[in-house]
Structure 1
Amino acid sequence: MTRVSIIGLGWLGEPLANYLRANGFEVKGSTTQTEKAKRLNQQGIEASRLKFNPHPEGDRFQHLFDTDILFVNIPPRTRTMPESFHPEQIKFIKEMAIQAHVPWIIFVSSTSVYPDKGQIAKESDDLSQEGNGNQAIIKAEEVLRSAPCPFDWTIIRFGGLLGADRIPGKYFSGKENVIGDSPVNYIHQEDAVRLATWVIQQEIKNDIINGVAPLHPQRKAIYEKNAKDLGFPPPLSYTTAGNSWKEINADKILALGFTFKFPNPLDFTYRLE
């Protein structure tokens, strides 16, 4: 039985753990919260408390690195921490993985690595130039892939993770001057879980893929449909994005054979909490 350790049993990591278990994997993982670790253990997911600050802090977490696959899914905290913080987190994880002889690391990255310059973004884009996207995440990717690298690696650059209780239109309900004419780059929670599992099952190694739905309706269409379907006010007014947008290309994962349950963000399902 293939063993998967998920560093970060959060909004994506916990449903991924349940999905992997249902598909025959042995799963354990980490959370930053003691009470959540207790709950997950009661539900049958072996969970330890672990936080990278940026060095590791927690309880009984060394066993997480005794695994076949290390799935690294921790938020970069780029709004509250310096640019060096997330790369340092990944540096510690990488060092611990090397010491434990982890054979494969899957890293959850973000499409925010691509700049908003009015372009279609692909995995092959050169992100080394100044003025590119989220530098903390770009540098974290570089840390993972740089020598020494005695393991296989995979980078999944997810788009906006939505669906379930994350409703894009709700965030802008009743607000003014909301950008409405740029394309969205979203992926539904169910498809994100399915994609991560598919990467493991298909052994997509030493590669970078964009995890984003292949269709890109405009933001205004999404916000208006959310408001109509779920019964809250739409934005009060809209503005234009100019050249501050990007469209994330999903051709690579489609060519590799992944099929989306929700290819169109206009069809995403949600639940009001």
Structure 2
Amino acid sequence: MSRTLVREVLVLSVRSSGESNREATLLSAEEGIVRATVFGGPKSKLRAHVAPFHSGTMWLYRDPVRDSLKVTDFDVRSWRPLLRELLERSWAATAVMDTIRSSHGGGGAWPEALALADGTLDALELADADGAALALVRFLWKWADLLGGRPEMDSCGACACRLAADEVVWYFRRETAFRCRRCASSATAAASGASAGDADTLARFAVSGGARAWLRAVDGLDAKSCLRVAPDAVSAVQAKRLATEVLSEALGRRLASWDGWDAARR
């Protein structure tokens, strides 16, 4: 078994390890999330290359005794310097990295995960503040699909009726499903006498046809093309809420980084 590995990777994060070394967390198409040591001082060329948001071909040495990886070379294909020139881009890119780490690299669909992450970061370099927010929502929505946690948007989860494209529907968190207006009303009536401990039964919110149409549209486009497809303000808010709620259910928690720039603007 060869001790030298050549992998296409995205650098997710880097932290100090020891006095002068660093540990890089990487997403690779072959192994998902891996960690490797980067040796060298502050002026090391390799250390400068192995930085968050960078993508390319990496050479790794596997130490069979210590069961560890060491970075020996990195041919950076995408440096993405523009991500750091606009705060909203940087926040969105950081949220992408955080999501990938928190879901162990996409639940096994690593080639698709790497392609989605690379495409999103490339699009973020071109985005303005509003575009960065929408690019992140698209990423979260597609990431939920990779994890197998995305609900069916075209039919009611209760009666299985077809949902009209322009219909306002209700998303129920506990069921991770949409309900038509009639079934949502029935659920409200059934839970009207519920105790405070059963309040989660009514944990729901409305999603317009516009929000669903936008999510459906960007699902079939590459990330850069999505920057030219902007929803109305209400649909944008609803699309973000839906994407983050669905992914929160898949991960078991909500990540603070998803709301980074919203909190800063308030």
Judging by fraction of residues, say which structure has more helix. Answer: 2
Range into which the TM-score falls when normalised by the shorter chain: under 0.3
Instruction: Work out which structure has the larger RCO, using CA pairs closer than 8 Å and 6 or more positions apart in sequence.
Output: 1
What TM-score do you get using the length of structure 2 for normalisation? 0.23
Query: Which structure would you say has the larger Rg?
Result: 2
